[in-house]
Amino acid sequence: MAEITSPDYPGERLVVCKNPLLAEERARKRAELLAATEKELARIAARVQRARSPLRGGAAIGQAVGAVLGQRHMAKHFQISIGDDTFSFAQNPLRIAAEAALDGIYVVRTNLAAEHSDTAATVRAYKSLSSVEHAFRSLKTVDLELRPVFHWTAPRVRAHVLLCMLAYYLQWHMRRSLAPMLFDLAISPRSPAMSSASASAATTSPPSSPPLPAHSTTPSICSGLLPPRRQTDTIAAKLYQWLALKRGQSSG
């Protein structure tokens, strides 16, 4: 990792990182795309050079070449020469080497000062975005199954977001507390959860007769705690009214 600055991003810190696994994957994919593109261009060259019904005309040849280059976005890596009855191509080693030098490199931008978030903390926060995506999936689908609710005023929107976050906060703490019984080994980026000895053993060789039965938060545990849909709507409506009332009293 390296921290740099750029006049194009005033007031922001730029953290340059390199992932060697990503670099290998991009190099492999580029090599495959170059080979496939070169194979298709060779076929076009053979059509131009054949004696029977050859491909003629710069426009027709250019159209065939453009379709091949546009399919895999490899035009920048080839040098193309097209005439009315000629066609030649070659790889551009300088462009390929310039792109290969950046394989696996990505930049994280932040406007936080270094005393609030150093280089390592900034990268960790970027990588923890997957936890935010998991939280949204948990809210809307597999765990809490919150239905879309349409609000048109700012207080109701804030109240709805608050209730959703409180529900996910409760569910998150339940998962951490019940992790040994649920065999839930998910690790939080801020405070890693310590798995029990039985849960660690279950990841390698699950016992034939576990001391505790494995459960899932969906739906066996939470289904008995959650009220029915209509009752939930009634409770939510009362909470919205209470929040609006408290807001009116505080403003008055």
**CB distance 201 to 183 below 8 Å:** no
**With left for phi above 0 and alpha for psi between -120 and 50, is residue 183 left, alpha or beta?**
left
Q: Could you state, in order of their start, the residue ranges of all structural domains in the chain? A: 20-100, 129-178+215-251
Q: What is the rounded distance in angstroms from the CA atom of residue 19 to the CA atom of residue 1? A: 10
List alpha helices for the chain, DSSP H. 20-49, 58-72, 93-100, 119-127, 129-137, 154-177, 179-182, 197-204, 229-251
* Structure tokens given for 42: 């060779």
CA-closest candidate to residue 166, choices 144, 186, 182: 144
Q: Tens place of pLDDT for every residue, the chain, 252 residues?
A: 888 888 899 989 999 999 999 999 999 999 999 999 999 999 999 999 998 899 999 999 999 999 999 888 999 999 999 999 999 999 999 999 999 999 999 999 998 888 888 888 888 888 877 777 777 777 777 666 666 677 788 888 888 878 877 877 887 788 778 877 766 555 444 444 455 565 555 555 554 455 555 555 444 444 444 444 455 456 556 656 665 655 555 555
Q: Is the pTM of this model over 0.85?
A: no
Cα–Cα distances (Å) from 158 to 30, 79, 123, 151, 191, in that order, read 47, 57, 30, 10, 28
